[in-house]
Amino acid sequence: MHKEKRGENVDEHSIPKVVIKRLPRYYRYLGDLLEANVERISSNELSDMMHVTASQIRQDLNNFGGFGQQGYGYNVKYLYSEIGRILGLDQVYNMIIVGAGNLGQALANYVNFEKSGFVVKGIFDVNPTLRGVSVRGIEIRMVDELPVFIRENEIKIAALTLPKTGAEEVAPVLVESGVRAIWNFAHTDLQLPKNVVVENVHLSESLMQLSYNLNHLEKKK
């Protein structure tokens, strides 16, 4: 079955960040289609599902060389695997969670991380009463154990769910110990070297955006 191959000379570093941010959504919808045993889909059909224009979908995917064929559409399994590869999901990442409160424990209990290649190897906290408590089979350790644990387990990603001051103190330790990507849930913008990738998830800001949109919607009534 013929399908257009992805371009070999695509410079993914030049692709707009807004396009990269949409890729996980494509990946999620394509995963749902795979589970429903859908073999192929057109940009128009995908547009109806995702509420994104078909033109936008084609433009986004053409940034990576294109994956479809006119009159045929997209092979769902192939497109799903290629987007996964672009997102780096064809690799396995060892990660830790620093902050074993409600949010940290909720992240540790989310089994879908491992399905995408993110393996939680350890959970850490500053509260000594949590030492040895098990979350999904992983015992909580103290933050003073971080440097040795990171090196011995080749940890590259850390989810940071500590309060602001704790996060600012621990983040440099993570970087010095070998962590190269931080998923930051703390209510602060971390000041770290440029070779460290930081993805901020400020829940309060997201809730404020929701509040704005709700208020805007109600004013239209």
Instruction: For residue range 87-140, list pLDDT tens digits in order.
Output: 999 999 999 999 999 999 999 999 889 888 999 999 999 999 999 999 999 999
CATH of region 93-205: 3.40.50.720
Q: Are 108 and 136 in contact (CB under 8 A)?
A: yes
Query: Residue 12: what pLDDT?
Result: 58
Instruction: For residue range 30-63, list pLDDT tens digits in order.
Output: 999 999 999 999 999 999 999 999 999 999 998 8
**Identity at 114, one-letter amino acid code:** E
Q: Which of 117, 118, 89, 87 is nearest to 15 (CA)?
A: 87
Kindly list the domain boundaries of the chain, sorted by start residue: 12-86, 93-205
Domain covering 12-86 assigned CATH 1.10.10.10 in the classification = yes
The b-or-e profile of 117-141 (16+ CB within 10 A means b, else e) is bbebbbbbbbeeebeeeebeebebb
What's the pTM value of the predicted model, to 2 decimals?
0.84
Distance (Å, whole) CA 131 – CA 109: 18
Alpha carbon dihedral 41, 42, 44, 48, in 10-degree steps, equals 10
Query: Residue 182: what pLDDT?
Result: 98
Instruction: For residue range 68-77, list pLDDT tens digits in order.
Output: 666 678 999 9
